[in-house]
């Protein structure tokens, strides 16, 4: 009952329809990818400056990680490098918000919409952050949060959540 209450409260706080509590941020990323049917033969672009969990989740589902470089001023993904990384096998982009600093959400969101890519937000280090007046984690098709004790919203031990406003993705 406590987990269900947390899921409802967290989803409402983020501005999404649903949140599903999981055991870690790593599993949140993996489940986000699996819910989008990403697997062998698919490429997922993300930033090179990220935790191993982002890359390992992509590999675990059988997809290929493609790394884009960072913008030296923000330490978040460089849009030019991200655009250059696109191939015919690209299926999704994982935007990592790092150090409480949002990534270029609007640019990545538009890139995903224009190309039919799925948009995943890695919110392990941004719980509570906003972009253009909207909570981060509410922009992606699905978003992954980590509640590891060193994160911006930590718990005792480990934990995570997958957040989405898509009922089908939530069910998956």
**Of 108-117, 130-139, 146-155, which gets the smallest average pLDDT?**
146-155
Q: Give Rg (Cα) of the chain.
A: 15
In the chain, pLDDT over 90 holds for what percent of residues? 82
Residue 5 has pLDDT above 90, yes or no: yes
Tens of pLDDT along 78-134?
Answer: 999 999 999 999 999 999 998 888 999 999 999 999 999 999 999 988 888 899 999
- Asked if 91 and 118 count as a contact pair (C-beta separation under 8 A), the reply is yes
Residue 153 has pLDDT above 80, yes or no: no
**What pTM, to 2 d.p., does this model score?**
0.94
According to the model, what pLDDT value does residue 149 have?
44
Strands 18-22 and 160-164: antiparallel
Residue 160 backbone dihedrals phi, psi, to 5 degrees: -165, 180
């Amino acid at each position: 009952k406590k987990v269900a209450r947390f899921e409802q409260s967290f989803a409402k706080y983020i501005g999404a329809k649903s949140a599903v509590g999981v055991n870690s941020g790593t599993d949140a990323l993996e489940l986000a990818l699996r819910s989008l049917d990403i697997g062998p033969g698919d490429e997922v672009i993300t930033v090179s400056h990220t935790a191993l969990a982002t890359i390992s989740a992509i590999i675990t589902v059988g997809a290929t990680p493609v790394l884009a470089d960072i913008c030296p001023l923000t330490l978040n993904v460089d849009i030019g490098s991200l655009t250059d990384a696109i191939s015919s096998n690209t299926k999704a982009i994982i935007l990592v918000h790092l150090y409480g600093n949002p990534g270029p959400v609007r640019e990545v969101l538009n890139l995903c919409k224009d190309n039919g890519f799925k948009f995943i937000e890695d919110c392990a280090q941004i719980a509570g952050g906003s972009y253009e007046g909207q909570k981060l984690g509410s922009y992606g098709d699905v978003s992954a949060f980590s509640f590891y004790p060193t994160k911006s919203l930590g718990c005792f031990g480990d934990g995570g959540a997958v957040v989405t406003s898509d009922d089908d993705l939530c069910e998956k």
